[in-house]
Amino acid sequence: MSTTQSLDFFRTSKHNPSFYEIRSKTSYKGELQDFCIPVNSYFPPQRMTEMIRENLETILKYYPEYADTHQHHISLLTGIAPENIVVSNGSTEIITMLCRDIDGPMVTSIPTFGRWTDLPFALGVSTSFIQRDKRNKFMIDIDEITSRIRDTQAKTLVLCNPNNPTGAWFSSSDIKALLESLEHLSLIVIDESFIDFSGLESAGGWAVDAENVIVVKSMGKALGWHGIRLGYAVAHERMARELRMKIPYWNINGLASFVLKNVLSFRELYFQSFEKSIRDRDYMLKQLRTIKGPTTYPSKANFLYVELPPGTSGRQLRDNLLEEYGLIVRECSNKVGSTETYLRVAVRGREATDKLVYALDKALSEVSPYFADETNYS
């Protein structure tokens, strides 16, 4: 089968459709394998699921614990003082709140996480973009950032480290130098939603002492459960206090509260899971690079950015992978600064990776004009 028209439910300007929508609308009858959502494959352990089942009535019946308790639990996990932590209903709660208060003009790189481009636009915030270049493997020099800020007279800078969807990163020394050189800005936001899988040092340690730096962190990716909606920000004590005043008092539900408290009992497994994910990423990168045609770029996140061969329809390839093989991948045309030439592929274990590589190789040969020339596929 060759899909000739993009599946309607993928036509969204923001993110991919939900897993539930895809599962209900695809014609594929078997079990779906998700390479779209970049989530930890090695956490949580089965025992945590069992604990939720055992305590579900209590979790649902009573109000969750208070914000200061959540701050304490995250402090125990991260080493950041509780007074510097703002706990949120997913990182997007913090992102939405920050975007509403942004002092423009703003600078960010593209492609990046869609909320950092879509929300400022919707809210009328003047935004200047730095286009990441494949010739540099989507890495950006800090001199380019400071130059753009100077030229646009920007007051706010937002960077994802590692970046989503490219997986490109800044070294800790680059981040530190950037923060020191931009002390005059109203706000610098470092979105570290995927930093657990990177081996990079968090900027949180610098944010607690800075007057203009906020580090944003999603926990769903690290915990392996996006559905619990849990994230946090790290900032100077004064800024953290001001942020907490802007969010609902009970913004964390009982399930997220229960998971956050009990993950501390599995600390060793939690941190080991990141090392396993890094090994899986190295394996996936190596295997994807065996396929003729695509280019897979290096990454410090738990996903890889794949450039398809010239003339290839990423939408058609995405649809064929779903309808013929039951594999869900992220086609990136609805990200500002990207096109359907690119896929973002979430890191999975070796068996799943081998299945993806086989299917991707077969599907490309069916849909890509690149392989119509036998010299490219010999």
Provide the token pair at 70.
């959540």
Percentage of the chain lying above the pLDDT 90 cut: 88
Q: Residue 335: inside a domain, yes or no?
A: yes
Q: Which of 266, 301, 317 is the last residue of a domain?
A: 266
Does 46 score more than 90 pLDDT? yes
Rounded average pLDDT over 34-39: 94
User: 8 or 220: which carries more pLDDT confidence?
Assistant: 220
Q: Residue 2: inside a domain, yes or no?
A: no
* Same domain as 316, residue 245: no
* Same domain as 205, residue 80: yes
**CA 255 to the chain's CA centroid:** 22
* Same domain as 170, residue 62: yes
pLDDT digits (tens, 9 = 90+) for 236-257: 999 999 999 999 888 999 999 9
Provide the token pair at 277.
């994910």
Find out whether 136 and 169 touch, Cβ atoms under 8 Å: no
Find out whether 249 and 256 touch, Cβ atoms under 8 Å: no
Rounded average pLDDT over 345-372: 93
DSSP string, 171-213: -HHHHHHHHHHTTTSSEEEEE-TTGGGTTPPPTHHHHTT-SSE
Range name among 133-142, 299-308, 368-377 with the lowest pLDDT average: 368-377
Q: Residue 1: inside a domain, yes or no?
A: no
Find out whether 271 and 257 touch, Cβ atoms under 8 Å: no
* Same domain as 192, residue 54: yes
Beta strands, E only, the chain? 33-34, 85-88, 106-110, 127-131, 156-160, 187-191, 213-218, 231-235, 295-296, 303-307, 327-328, 330-331, 342-346
Q: Give residue for tokens 């280019």.
A: 295
What gap in Å lies between CA 87 and CA 133, rounded to an integer? Answer: 34
Q: Which of 266, 299, 321 is the last residue of a domain?
A: 266
Residue 127: what pLDDT? 97
Residue 314: what pLDDT? 95
Q: Residue 195: inside a domain, yes or no?
A: yes
> CATH no. for residue 91?
3.40.640.10
Rounded average pLDDT over 185-210: 97
* Same domain as 346, residue 223: no
Residues contacting 262, CB < 8 A, separation 6+: 48, 51
Residue 4: what pLDDT? 41
Confidence of residue 204 (pLDDT cuts 50, 70, 90): very high
* Same domain as 277, residue 137: no
Find out whether 274 and 261 touch, Cβ atoms under 8 Å: no
Rounded average pLDDT over 10-38: 85
225, HSE (Cβ side, Cα atoms, 13 Å): 20
Q: Residue 104, by phi and psi: left (phi above 0), alpha (psi -120 to 50) or beta?
A: beta
pLDDT digits (tens, 9 = 90+) for 82-120: 999 999 999 999 999 999 999 999 999 999 999 999 999
* Same domain as 256, residue 289: no
Which amino acid is it at 209?
Answer: D
Instruction: Give, in order, the Cα–Cα distances in Å from 28 to each of 12, 23, 24, 206, 315.
Output: 21, 8, 10, 48, 17
* Same domain as 334, residue 295: yes
- How many independent structural domains does the chain possess? 2
Residue 10: what pLDDT? 72
Range name among 141-150, 210-219, 243-252, 273-282 with the lowest pLDDT average: 243-252
Q: Which of 266, 300, 329 is the last residue of a domain?
A: 266
Which amino acid is it at 19?
Answer: F
Provide the token pair at 298.
């290096």
Q: Residue 3: inside a domain, yes or no?
A: no
* Same domain as 256, residue 160: yes
Give the per-residue SS3 of 252-315: CCHHHHHHHHHHHHHHHHHHHHHHHHHHHHHHHHHHHCCCCCCEECCCCCCEEEEECCCCCCHH
Q: Residue 134: inside a domain, yes or no?
A: yes
Q: What is the pTM of this model?
A: 0.93
How many C-beta neighbours within 10 Å does residue 283 have? 16
| Longest CA–CA separation in the chain, Å | 66
Q: Please give the mean pLDDT across all residues of the chain.
A: 94
Residue 3: what pLDDT? 44
Which amino acid is it at 220?
Answer: G
What gap in Å lies between CA 98 and CA 106, rounded to an integer? Answer: 12
> CATH no. for residue 34?
3.90.1150.10
What gap in Å lies between CA 281 and CA 130, rounded to an integer? Answer: 27
User: Which of 21-35, 239-253, 260-274 shows the highest mean pLDDT?
Assistant: 260-274
Confidence of residue 142 (pLDDT cuts 50, 70, 90): very high
pLDDT digits (tens, 9 = 90+) for 286-343: 999 999 999 999 999 999 999 999 999 999 999 999 999 999 999 999 999 999 999 9
Radius of gyration for the chain, computed over Cα atoms and rounded to the nearest angstrom: 21
Confidence of residue 1 (pLDDT cuts 50, 70, 90): very low
Question: Structural domain of residue 202, as residue ranges?
Answer: 46-266
* Same domain as 76, residue 178: yes
* Same domain as 115, residue 260: yes
Confidence of residue 235 (pLDDT cuts 50, 70, 90): very high
Confidence of residue 169 (pLDDT cuts 50, 70, 90): very high
Helix and strand numbers (H, E) in the chain are: 14, 13
Q: Residue 79: inside a domain, yes or no?
A: yes
Confidence of residue 371 (pLDDT cuts 50, 70, 90): confident
* Same domain as 120, residue 229: yes
